[in-house]
């Protein structure tokens, strides 16, 4: 056992790997190309639509050697139908493929943040279904096979049962290694597809995992989704909450809804939104949920409250999906969004009172924070409000996190959200309004000053030191 603990899984990290994919089809076409190893890609080989319809088809990772074997098999197929049969026969799961071929075993590791706990860090997670499947395969490779109904496997199958439909269980990487040791597995037979460091200090990091699919989505303001072992598209609690919030709350002016029976209708839709937010908040640490279920519940709310969402296609772009997080937006765009939706603005915190631009990550953070202020009162549904605060802070780069938490504490009166930072006291805003017509709130000088200073230094360095 001590010798097994001394061994480590092989790793493929973003530090030495490029992620190549077709624009607009990241999830279904990506492949990882390490500098000093074989290219790794999903087993459906850019044929996702056909493979996902094959009942029982499971997601796993293959490399160039595996693909070469499949090309030989396909070359002998006389019809497209025969090729489909052979594809499922061999690529339907890693277990099926390993019956006839000895392959390298790859395990996906993904970062996940438990947003129901304020200030929680990000942990690297592994799907338990994939752990249970690879254990017999690796043991067979090292010459010590076990039965499919081995008592230890059954114990973990029962322990890791998610308990709810459309949800999946994961474990952290430390637990993963302990399980491998329990079964006497030589870890060098397993290659982990992993970020550059673990645990990941920032959720789906901008600087880590930068060439992997998770972070590419974050950089451009899109939702993070990935494949469960059974090929369903899933997301973690953080991005489930983000999707609910962005789709059902943001894009609506909750101060100026115009409809019959206004108060009762607003309370109805708010109640539905809160009930939906209870789902990701109550998820177990590391659990993931199907994207289809979240979307269905969102569409049900929209259908039942159509009056609340009829104008969503006519409102200004407050998401800026596709724009890199480290780019800049004209400050007028931010002012226009806050004015259109009657959101509080945070522009007079700037050291320069006439700023021309705002960082994209800050734009997104401020918009989420503005809608949090508008949707929640100071006391009601505090647990769900605190969860969405964590979601909003998700977009903040590490170097600004302490100031951001302090600013959130100032703005929302969250006495516990800034435990890791020094409280920032806003200057008086009495008898003063922002140019958007909303309430103006100070207190974020340190955060932006740091960002602007770094930007000026970078521009100065780029121009060879000239001003």
Collapse the DSSP code of 13 into the 3-class scheme (helix H, G, I; strand E, B; otherwise coil) and give the result.
Answer: strand
Q: Are 267 and 239 in contact (CB under 8 A)?
A: no
Which of 62, 213, 200, 50 shows the shortest CA–CA distance to 121?
Answer: 200
> Confidence class of residue 4 from pLDDT cuts 50, 70 and 90?
low
What is the reported pLDDT for 413? 65
Residue 278 has pLDDT above 80, yes or no: yes
The pLDDT of residue 429 is 33
Maximum pairwise Cα distance, the chain? 80
In the prediction, which pLDDT does 64 show? Answer: 93
Edge-to-edge strand list for the sheet holding 190-194:
10-13, 190-194, 105-108
Q: What is the pLDDT of residues 103-136, one digit of tens each?
A: 999 998 887 766 655 655 667 899 999 999 999 9
| Between residues 349 and 400, the one the model is more confident about | 400
Tell me whether strands 105-108 and 190-194 are parallel, antiparallel or unpaired.
Answer: parallel
Identify the CA nearest to 328 among candidates 291, 292, 304, 355: 355
Strand partners, 330: 357
pLDDT for the residue 241? 93
Find the range with the poorest average confidence among 17-31, 156-170, 174-188: 17-31
Share the mean pLDDT of the chain.
78
Residue 213 has pLDDT above 50, yes or no: no
Is 207's pLDDT higher than 70? Answer: no
Tell me which of 172-176, 195-199, 239-243, 396-400 is least confident. Answer: 195-199
* Residue 273, pLDDT score: 93
Per-residue confidence (pLDDT) for residue 150, from 0 to 100: 94
Residues 21-76 have pLDDT tens digits of: 666 666 777 777 777 778 888 998 868 888 888 899 999 999 999 999 999 999 99
The pLDDT of residue 16 is 64
pLDDT at position 2, please?
55
Give the whole-angstrom CA distance, residue 257 versus residue 306.
12
DSSP string, 111-158: EEE-TTSTT--EEEEEEHHHHHHHHHHHHHHTT----TT-HHHHHHHH
Range 382-401 average pLDDT: 87
If one compares 345 and 440, the residue with the highest pLDDT of the two is: 345
Locate the domains of the chain by residue range.
2-236, 316-467
User: Per mean pLDDT, which range of 90-99, 192-201, 219-228 is the poorest?
Assistant: 192-201
């Amino acid at each position: 056992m001590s010798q097994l603990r001394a061994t480590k899984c092989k790793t493929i990290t973003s530090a030495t790997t490029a992620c190549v994919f077709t624009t607009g089809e990241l999830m279904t076409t990506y492949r990882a190309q390490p500098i000093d190893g074989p290219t790794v890609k999903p087993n459906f080989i850019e044929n996702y639509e056909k493979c996902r319809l094959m009942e029982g088809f499971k997601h796993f990772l293959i490399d160039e050697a595996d693909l070469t074997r499949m090309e030989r098999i396909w070359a002998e197929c006389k019809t497209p139908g025969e090729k489909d049969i052979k594809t499922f026969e061999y690529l339907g799961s890693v277990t099926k493929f390993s019956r006839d071929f000895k392959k390298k075993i790859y395990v996906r590791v993904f970062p996940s943040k438990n947003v129901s706990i304020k200030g929680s860090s990000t942990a690297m997670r592994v799907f338990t279904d994939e752990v249970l499947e690879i254990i017999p395969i690796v043991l067979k490779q090292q010459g010590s096979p076990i039965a499919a109904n081995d008592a230890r496997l059954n114990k973990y199958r029962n322990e890791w049962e998610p308990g709810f439909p459309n949800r999946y269980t994961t474990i952290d990487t430390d637990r993963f290694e302990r399980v491998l040791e329990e079964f006497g597995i030589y870890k060098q037979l397993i290659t982990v597809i992993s970020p550059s460091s673990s645990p990941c200090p920032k959720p789906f990091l901008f600087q880590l995992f930068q060439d992997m699919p998770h972070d590419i989505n974050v950089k451009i303001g899109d939702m993070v989704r990935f494949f469960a072992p059974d090929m369903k598209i899933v997301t973690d609690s953080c991005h489930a909450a983000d999707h609910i919030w962005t789709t059902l709350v943001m894009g609506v002016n909750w101060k100026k809804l115009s409809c019959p029976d206004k108060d009762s209708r607003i309370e109805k839709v708010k109640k539905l939104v809160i009930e939906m937010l209870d789902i990701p908040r109550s998820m177990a640490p590391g659990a993931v949920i199907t994207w289809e279920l979240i979307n269905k519940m969102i569409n049900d709310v929209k259908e039942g409250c159509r009056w609340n969402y009829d104008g969503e296609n006519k409102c200004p772009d407050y998401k800026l999906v596709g724009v890199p997080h480290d780019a800049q937006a004209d400050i007028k765009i931010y002012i226009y969004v806050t004015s259109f939706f009657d959101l509080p603005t945070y522009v007079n915190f700037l050291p320069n009172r006439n700023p021309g631009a705002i960082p994209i990550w800050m734009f997104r953070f401020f918009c989420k924070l503005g809608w949090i202020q508008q949707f929640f009162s100071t006391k009601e549904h505090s647990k769900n409000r605190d969860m969405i605060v964590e979601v909003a802070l998700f977009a903040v780069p590490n170097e600004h996190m302490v100031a951001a938490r302090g600013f959130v504490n100032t703005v929302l009166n969250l006495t516990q959200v800034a435990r890791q930072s020094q409280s920032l006291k806003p200057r008086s805003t009495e008898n003063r309004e922002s140019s958007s017509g909303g309430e103006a709130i100070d207190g974020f000088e340190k955060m932006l000053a740091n960002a602007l200073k770094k930007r000026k230094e970078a521009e100065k360095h780029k121009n060879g030191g000239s001003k």
